[in-house]
Structure 1
Amino acid sequence: MSTLFDLSFLVTVPFWALMIFAPPWRWTRTIISSPWIVLAPLVVWVIVAVPVLGAMWSLVTAPSLDAITEAVVDPAVLTALWAQIIAWDLFLGRWIYLDSRDRDIHPLLMGPLLVGTILLSPIAFPIYLLVREFAGRSRAGSAAVAQSDPVGA
């Protein structure tokens, strides 16, 4: 089970590496544009979750802290939950990467934010939304100045 737990993250590393270390490379955008990049950790999820689907079903249909605490003692349930988290983080990181490229947010700013998404996406995501808002205002302001500049005309 430990191998599958580790594998659920390791299969995402190439995608994270592309987004963080080669953001402007045209193949990065081509690869990351596909939502299928999250398939690898989801395959791990299926392998691990199918045998414990009954236990996991009861967790999602009647969630309680006690039930979840008891269930994650099972390495298969915990590994399935981990693979699901990893897949979600990659999907979120993919959206952040694509959105930041569309908005032309500098890769040196985005690299740490994407690392933050890997580590603590509930913190990194709202930070990105603030960066996105600021970058949008900044670019709109620059465009307005460029249009009203009589010297540039």
Structure 2
Amino acid sequence: MTGALFEITFWLTVPFWGLMIFAPGSPLTARIAASPLIAVPPLVVYSVLVAGHLPQLWATMSTPDLAELRAFAGSAWGASAVWAQVIAWDLLIGAWMYREGRRLRLHPLLMGPLLVLTIVLSPFGFALFLAIRYACDRRNRGTTVVTGQ
């Protein structure tokens, strides 16, 4: 069962990524990408994977130790759980990037490859997007963050 859960995790997020990359102007895409609930499918997989291992997971994560973390990630359920968590967070980062790209009116031919890079190597895609965002949005956003205007 662990192998099947590992395999299905990414595919549960493909429709969301597909909308953001191939239908960025759709109102449906905007509505879906605005919801943090898009991360629920991989988080359900994560929950199923860790449900029977909560004491071990807690011990591993509450007092980080490299040897313990290696043992955790070296198990099928541990590696699958890490994968599901990474997939969920990557999708949340990608959805935020999508929304910010729309706000900045970045062209889909720029955002599409950035989102693909984020799927494959999220730290690089995210860092590159942050640099582009900074270059496009230099104005003082202090009041925008507070007032939403």
State whether TM-score is above 0.5.
yes
> Separation in 1 of the partners of 2:137 and 2:78?
42
SS at match of 1:84: helix
Superposition deviation, residue 136 in structure 1: 2.3
1:24 pairs with 2:25: yes
Q: Which letter maps to 1:5?
A: F
> Separation in 1 of the partners of 2:87 and 2:124?
15
Superposition deviation, residue 132 in structure 1: 0.8
8 Å Cα contact 1:52/1:77 also seen in 2? no
Please identify runs of 4+ aligned residues in structure 1 that moved more than 6 A. Answer: none
Superposition deviation, residue 72 in structure 1: 1.8
* CA offset digits 1:65-105 (Å, max 9, x no partner): 11111112221111111100100000000100011101111
> Separation in 1 of the partners of 2:53 and 2:8?
19
1:40 pairs with 2:34: no
> Separation in 1 of the partners of 2:125 and 2:74?
28
Task: Please list, as runs of the form range in 1=range in 2, the aligned pairs for 1:92-111 lying within 5 A after superposition.
Answer: 92-111=93-112
Mind listing any 5+ residue stretches in structure 1 that lack a counterpart? 141-153
Task: Please list, as runs of the form range in 1=range in 2, the aligned pairs for 1:59-74 lying within 5 A after superposition.
Answer: 59-74=60-75
Superposition deviation, residue 51 in structure 1: 0.7
> Separation in 2 of the partners of 1:80 and 1:136?
36
> Separation in 2 of the partners of 1:63 and 1:6?
27
TM-score (norm 2): 0.88
Residue in 2 that maps onto 1:145: none
**Pair member with larger Rg:** 1
> Separation in 1 of the partners of 2:125 and 2:59?
31
TM-score (norm 1): 0.86
Mind listing any 5+ residue stretches in structure 2 that lack a counterpart? 140-149
SS at match of 2:74: coil
> Separation in 1 of the partners of 2:22 and 2:54?
37
> Separation in 2 of the partners of 1:13 and 1:92?
14
| RMSD after superposition | 1.2
Q: Which letter maps to 1:59?
A: T
> Separation in 1 of the partners of 2:15 and 2:93?
16
> Separation in 2 of the partners of 1:57 and 1:126?
30
8 Å Cα contact 1:15/1:32 also seen in 2? yes
